[in-house]
Amino acid sequence: MRWPRHRRPGVITIAWIAVALGLLPMPYGYYMLLRLFFCGLSFYLLTRPAGIRDGEKWVLAGVAVLYNPLVPIELGSRLLWSLVNVGTVVYFQHLSRRAAGSLSW
């Protein structure tokens, strides 16, 4: 399927969709790939020279630490991870909407 140039999903849109899929029961490997992807994406966005506000940098740093694949953070229950994932989806949707107007991610 080909996306029109102005309607292609960006990496942030793909990221929040990936987390939304993670709310479904998936194999453990999917969650490990999700951790790797989100940690890398957060570090990438933190290194962008422009477009990310100071408060957003703190949130992205927290997402990078929370989703890091090397030293996994255990939150204890699937319910708590689901709440964190929903918050991550909402946050990255916000970034996606803002990026659609001014940034080329």
| Residue pLDDT, tens place only, 5-48 | 555 567 777 877 887 787 788 898 888 888 888 888 888 878 87
Taking the C-alpha atoms of residue 10 and residue 40, their distance in angstroms, rounded to an integer, is 15
Contacts of 36 (CB under 8 A, 6+ apart): 69
Does 44 fall in a domain? yes
Encode pLDDT of 63-72 as tens digits: 889 888 888 7
For the chain, the domain total comes to: 1
Does 90 fall in a domain? yes
pTM of the entire predicted model: 0.70
Taking the C-alpha atoms of residue 9 and residue 4, their distance in angstroms, rounded to an integer, is 10
Does 2 fall in a domain? no
Domain residues for 86? 10-102
